[in-house]
Structures are given as structure tokens and as C-alpha cells.
Chain A
Amino acid sequence: MANKYWESVRVMLGGEPRRQPPSEYTEEAKKIHFYKKTEKLDFAALKAEARAQQKKGVWLKRRWIALLSINLLFVVSYWLDIQILEGALTASRMLGFHLIDLNSALQVMLAHKHIIVNLLIGTGTVFVLWLLLGGRTFCSWVCPYHFLAENAERLHVYLVERKWVTDHTFLRGVRTICWFLFALMAIVTGYTVFETISPTGIVSRALIYGPGLAMGWVLLLLLLEIFYSRRAWCRYVCPIGLTYGIVGVFSPVHVTYDLANCHHEGECRRVCEVPHVLDCVIKGRSPTAQVDIGADCTRCGMCIDVCPSGALKFEIAGLRKIM
């Protein structure tokens, strides 16, 4: 069990997913893999049947509603002065309770080197919240830059299909290095260096207090993602994602994979922001009949939406046993 968490962190930090040796496969998984090899099922018919039953874009709809309402709540709280959610995404107060973004808090703590009680309370609340909700859930369900970037991503994918642009990938480990260097720069310079270029903070403040020149930087990032590299900021740079990823390692909320239902078409990997977490869906790779998807997963639910055979589901650990 401990091994599973370590592996998920290792992959999140930039390691390539490892293929498990046959000795690690459970009997149940071996059996399923065996049947998949031998039994000649009519996959075409199965797929057609599964597709007919598939609900399209359910999680996308839910997620966008959540993301837009949270960000809108910030905006109307200020504009209409209803004081439900005051502040911006970096730090806020919900009905008086302090909520402080973990990465912003980290930058402030490292730069300022003094921690006051309110900062600690706000950070603690948010830490527990995302520990329960799944760490990087923040990225896809709250972050306003994610919303811009996933729409830029659609454009990018379209352009790639047309062969008008080529996707350039980077080594994922660079995000880990960026995380450490941003932390180090905060300690050494005594300034919250990362906040200067954080598109999450910039977009959040632009929504609430009105846009400024800083949105030009966000636009540059989006252009990079449209014309050069798919989801480059979120995949390879953003330390906020990694901070929340670490918080979500032991989270009970995750996407779970069911080997028996999978037709190994790979559609989930094509829509995923972090396809390395879905390594287990490749034919023959899953060492167990059920796999909990790793910590780097943003729980966006796109894979669930596209999976024609219902092999991917949201799960709250513990709830399965109770029910």
C-alpha cells in the first residue's frame, strides 16, 4: 500500500511510470488480462453498445459550473458587497473564516519568515479541505487559469489535428525543479517571486478588481500553449499544482479504474492533462483489477466523460466498503 503512494509521488515529480513485474500482479488481474488475450469478443459491437449508453460531458458541465460559480462568488461578493467570499484566490474570507491558498502561503512564509496566527488558520483550513477533496482538484475545479487553458487546449488540439502546429513536449521533472527554485528564490530574495508571474493570482485579481497589464503575461502563456506546447504551464511549470498534488496524495477522493470494463482504446489518455497517471489503462499494464489514479490527477473527470465503457469512475475511499 505504501508503495502505491510512493509510486504516485514519484510519477508526479517527473518519473516515468514503471511497469510492474508479473510477480506484483494480483491473481484477479492476471485472470482478466488472460481472458482479454484469449477470448475473442466482438469488441466493435461492445463499443457501439457502450457508446450508445454514454452520457456526454456530464463532469465537464458540473466542473465548469463549480469553477465559474466559485470565481463569480468572489466577484459578486465584492461588487455587490454581500461579503460571502471576500478577497481573491490567494487569500480570502468565507463568511469570516480565513482561507489561504497553500502555495501563496508557502511563498509568503518562505519570503517573510514570520507566520502569524491568521495565516496559519487559513492555511490549515485550506489544507484540510483539499486533503479531503483531492489536492489537485483545486486546479480543475477552482483555478480560473485552468479554465482559460483548457479552452486554449481545445484550440491547440484542433490546430495539431489540422497539422498547422506541432505539439512540443518537455520533461515533466522541470515542474519539480521549478517548485524548488521558486521556493529557494523566495527564501533568498525575501520576495514572493512566484506570485509575480502566477496566472492563477493574476486572473483571479483581474476578475475581481479589474484587468491590467498583468493579463498580457497570461495571454503570452496561453499563446505558448496554443501554438507551441499543449498545457505547458500546468504540466511543466506551475508550482501550485505540485503543492496541491502533494496535499492530495492520501486523499480519499480520486478517479478509480476498473480493468474488467476497459477496452483499452486510450481515449482517456488523449483528453487527459496528465496522461502519465493513466499508464495503467494501457493493455496489460494494470497490476490489479482496480487502480486508484495517482496524486497528479486533477480529478477533472474528462476521462470519465470520454470513457465509452464506464471503466473510470469517481470514488470516495471507504465509501465503497460501507455501501
Chain B
Amino acid sequence: MNAETEPVHPSIGRRKLEERRRFLRTIMLGAVMLGISTLGFIPVARAWRVRMRPPGALEESDFLSSCIKCGQCVQVCPVQAIRLDDIDQGFGVGVPYIDSRKQACDFSCDAVQCILACPTGALVYKKPDYMPSRGEMRVANPPILIAKEKDPEPTLNLKERSGLARLARPEACLAVQGKGCNGPARGAEFKGIMRFTEVDRWKPIPLRDHPFDLPLCDLCVRTCPIRGAISLEPVVDEKGIKHMTPTVHEPCLGCGVCEMVCPVEPAAIVVDARKGWGV
């Protein structure tokens, strides 16, 4: 083993010694390369970051194994909501995710094009029978996209949600406090874009170019792209005071638009990735 330090033994010979060294080197090389590749398991096993995957994604471990890390979903997304993970995500390197707070999926494409682009079936319209998703991920009725409500086919070709919105910080919510919202929802610097059908049905515009003037903030409700997914409901607190409170309903797909537009920092409403209805 300590061939490196030992003087050349007369009975071994230089050639033999070099061969032995090369053999050990080779084992080291193989072990290092295979070892480093398995390190990719750590971020996955620890679930350092629970990533929101694009719509139609298989369950997480199936998604990681079936995704071929090509980014075709990234290329077709009209609002560039999809990004690819880096090597700090281990086996997740090159796998798409959505950071809703930065740029949410607002279904501007009308047809969930990322699913159409996926070559390996990591994103699917309908989960295959051998890979059923959890029941709570299924939506009761085909989701109606408000933007194409007047079309002959108003529903989105999706049968499952990718997460669920939740009012995480009701005390910070402007509506709960009875406050309004003036100007651009996320300030003049925010780079996120989304579609406003009243401006242009086919072209998403920067959120900062679409200021609001609301006596009572209901941004999460008015920008939600899905019919009946969220509404402001009067909720009476323990002191008997009535607060208008954003309330998430069953049709919610977890697209994250509410999280993106929420004007308070950090957002009062967030999307829990991969969370189902009623659990």
C-alpha cells in the first residue's frame, strides 16, 4: 500500500512498481468519481428546499428520475416562470422549478405548454395508471381559466394541482387589516410579468406597468387566474370584529400568482408546494 514511500525493492522492479501505482490510482479515480456523484443524494434526502415543480409534474422522486434535465419546459414558458436548479440541489441539478414569489406561472400559455414540451413524461396532463398521484392533488372539476372563460373550451387541460395557497401571515395581510393598495403591487423595481386580459390577452406585461388603486386590497383575488379558487370572506375574530380575509377554495391549483402579487414583504399568502386539498 505504501508504494509511494518505499524505496524501489530490487525484487519488484520499477515497471512492476509503476503498474501497482497505476492500479491504485485507478481505483482511487473510480471511487472518487462514483463517490462524488452519490453526494448528489444528500440535498435530495434532506429536502433542503421543497421546490415547486412546473404544472403536471409527477410526484417528486418520480419527477427527479424521469426528468432528463433538458430545459425544454423553460424554453416554452411565456412568462419565464421555470428555472433550472443548480448542482447544490444534488440529483436535482438541471431539474425545473418555479419560484412563485419571483415569477409565478399564470397560465398565460392557455394550454400548459411545459407539459407539451416535456420529452420524457416527467410533466403530464394525466398521470399514468401505474403512477397515480395522491388523491388530494386531484381537482374536483376541470379548472376554468378566467382568461378564456368566454371561449368554447374554457377549462385548463389539467386535472391536478401542484400545490395549495395558504394565508400564512394573516396579521400582515392588507385586506385583513382593512387597508388598500396603491401603485404597482410589488414596487417599481419588480421584474415579474403576468397577463392582464383587459390589457392584452396574448402578451404578458410587467407587473410594475399595471398599477392598482384599491380602497381594500384584494390583489390575490382579482389576479387569480382560476375561477373560484380564492375569495375575500368576512371572518369574525375573537373580539367580534369582522375582517375581510382571503380564503382559498378547492379549485386552487397552487399556481402562485397570489404569492407573486402580494404587496407585503414577505408575502402574506404563500403556496405550499405539493400540498393537497384537505390534508
Q: Tell which of B44, B72, B88 touches A191, judged by Cβ atoms closer than 8 Å.
A: B44
Who on chain B is nearest to A236 by CB?
A: B29
Q: Which residues of A, 154-194, contact B by the 8 Å Cβ criterion?
A: 168-171, 173-174, 177-178, 181-182, 185, 189-194
Query: Given the complex, which residues of B lie within 8 Å of A182, measured CB to CB?
Result: 34, 37
Instruction: Assess whether B68 is in contact with A100, with CB atoms less than 8 Å apart.
Output: yes
Q: How many of B's residues come within 8 Å of A, CB to CB?
A: 43
Asked whether any CB of chain A lies closer than 8 Å to the CB of B206, the reply is no
Asked whether any CB of chain B lies closer than 8 Å to the CB of A105, the reply is yes
Who on chain B is nearest to A98 by CB?
A: B119
Instruction: Assess whether B71 is in contact with A88, with CB atoms less than 8 Å apart.
Output: yes
Asked whether any CB of chain B lies closer than 8 Å to the CB of A73, the reply is no
Asked whether any CB of chain B lies closer than 8 Å to the CB of A55, the reply is no
Known: A86-B75, A88-B69, A193-B37. A171 touches B86 (CB 8 A): no
Cα(A108)–Cα(B69), bound, Å: 10
Known: A174-B30, A232-B29. A108 touches B41 (CB 8 A): no
Cα(A219)–Cα(B35), bound, Å: 18
Query: Given the complex, which residues of B lie within 8 Å of A7, measured CB to CB?
Result: none
Asked whether any CB of chain A lies closer than 8 Å to the CB of B94, the reply is yes
Cα(A194)–Cα(B88), bound, Å: 15
Query: Given the complex, which residues of B lie within 8 Å of A178, measured CB to CB?
Result: 30, 33-34
Instruction: Assess whether B62 is in contact with A193, with CB atoms less than 8 Å apart.
Output: no
Asked whether any CB of chain B lies closer than 8 Å to the CB of A208, the reply is yes
Tally of A-B Cβ pairs under 8 angstroms: 157
Instruction: Assess whether A108 is in contact with B37, with CB atoms less than 8 Å apart.
Output: no
Instruction: Assess whether B128 is in contact with A195, with CB atoms less than 8 Å apart.
Output: no
Cα(A197)–Cα(B23), bound, Å: 24
Query: Given the complex, which residues of A lie within 8 Å of B68, measured CB to CB?
Result: 90-91, 100-101, 104-105, 108, 119, 192, 195
Query: Given the complex, which residues of A lie within 8 Å of B94, measured CB to CB?
Result: 88, 90, 195, 201-202, 205
Nearest CB of chain B from residue A210's CB, rounded to whole Å: 9
Asked whether any CB of chain B lies closer than 8 Å to the CB of A92, the reply is yes
A108-136: CB near B (< 8 Å → 1, else 0) gives 10011010101100100000000000000
Cα(A62)–Cα(B159), bound, Å: 50
Nearest CB of chain B from residue A220's CB, rounded to whole Å: 9
Cα(A28)–Cα(B266), bound, Å: 82
Instruction: Assess whether B120 is in contact with A116, with CB atoms less than 8 Å apart.
Output: yes
Q: How many of A's residues come within 8 Å of B, CB to CB?
A: 56
Cα(A192)–Cα(B76), bound, Å: 24
Nearest CB of chain B from residue A305's CB, rounded to whole Å: 30
Interface residues of A (CB under 8 A from B): 77-78, 86-93, 98, 100-101, 104-105, 108, 111-112, 114, 116, 118-119, 122, 168-171, 173-174, 177-178, 181-182, 185, 189-197, 201-202, 205, 208-209, 212-214, 216-217, 232, 236-237
Other A-B contacts than A93-B119, A191-B41, 11 sampled, CB-CB below 8 A, are A77-B75, A100-B119, A101-B68, A105-B68, A108-B120, A170-B26, A193-B41, A196-B37, A196-B90, A197-B36, A214-B87
Interface residues of B (CB under 8 A from A): 22-23, 25-26, 29-30, 33-34, 36-38, 40-41, 44, 61-62, 64-72, 74-76, 84, 86-88, 90-91, 93-94, 117, 119-121, 128, 130-131
A-B contact pairs, 22 of them (CB 8 A): A87-B71, A88-B69, A88-B70, A89-B70, A91-B119, A114-B66, A119-B121, A174-B30, A181-B30, A189-B41, A191-B40, A191-B61, A192-B91, A193-B37, A195-B69, A196-B40, A196-B87, A205-B69, A208-B71, A209-B74, A214-B93, A217-B87
